[in-house]
Copies of this chain bind each other. A is one copy, B any other.
Amino acid sequence: MFFEGSEKKIEVVVSSTTPSLRQLGDGFWAAIVASANAEILSKMSNAYCDAYILSESSLFVWDHKFLMLTCGTTTLADAVLLFVDKLGENAIASASYQRKSESLSHLQASSFECDLSRLREKLSGRAYRVGHLDTHHHYIFCADTKAQWCPPQNSCELLMYHIKGDVAKYLRSDKQSSRGIRDMLRLDCLFPDFVFDDHIFEPFGYSINGLWNEKYMTIHITPQEKGSYVSIETNLHFTQGSFNIFSDLLNILNPRSWDVIGFNTEITSEGFPACISVASCSLPITPSDTVYFNQYHQQSNEVLIPESL
């Protein structure tokens, strides 16, 4: 059973004069989510943020910003367009739309190029592809910023491909539990003080959102042996006191290859498992924002198991 784990992502900041996005209510956000062909499964809140677990990934809504990640064959560009329609272009202080390379791009409802031409009917902006087409690559569209200055957003992502070992086996088993997964990933230790909301999918798959003040974290696991993928994204710094969240997760999940993406954050490889640095790039995406991409691959040879079709 194939499931496209790789995510599309939108991050929109609205102007300071726009009323709080959280006040738009669950019905508003349910409509935004539905436009992308996903649905809301659960919600948790703290003083700063509403965090929704979706049928495909996550939505975080702060007073003046929202972040939505979706995987599978969702149509996230439609969500951007609906949001701009509802609030008006002048409310947008910054907007970015991203898409990671898909394993089976011919099963997607649209290509990034199609999404881009539709987005550009409403928002002018720059777009790039980073990475070669025959391997992991990332598309990013960034709307031209309006006169109003928008504070730089800091976040980092770790995308892990082909996890192996005992934790991977557990994530593919029918004996997994929410508590078991959190313990194996050491989330209480890596994200102390965070409050979590999580969901186990049938027959496989796991999503978790975490909140601590204005900080968020989200992990999505597509454990299928034939194309496993685990992503984590957070606006917490990846180093926390004596430990490094990313290198700890890499050592737990043991992926064959992984990409790290830092928004206004350079992510060091200290503590990473033995690997080669395959490729890297720093991309100044707006006058005040830089995105850092790094791709890594394990050094050892993998004996491939042919898949019978």
Q: Which residues of A contact B (CB under 8 A)?
A: 2, 6, 101, 103-106, 108, 111-113, 116, 126-136, 139, 161-162, 226-227, 229, 256-257, 276-281, 283, 293, 297, 299, 301-309
Contacts and interface: CB of A to CB of B under 8 A. Distances in A.
B133 A104 contact: yes
Number of identical monomers bound together in the oligomeric complex: 2
B135 A134 contact: yes
Given A106-B108, A111-B106, A139-B309, A131 B281 contact: no
Contacts of A105: 104-106
Contacts of A2: 133
Nearest to A113: B309
Contact of A279 (B229, B279, B301, B307): B301
B126 A308 contact: yes
Chain B CB within 10 Å, residue with most, of A101, A113, A226, A309: A309
B281 A103 contact: no
A210 to B, nearest CB: 27
Nearest to A128: B306
A304 B280 contact: yes
A111 B283 CA distance: 34
Contacts of A132: 161-162, 227, 256, 304
Nearest to A294: B301
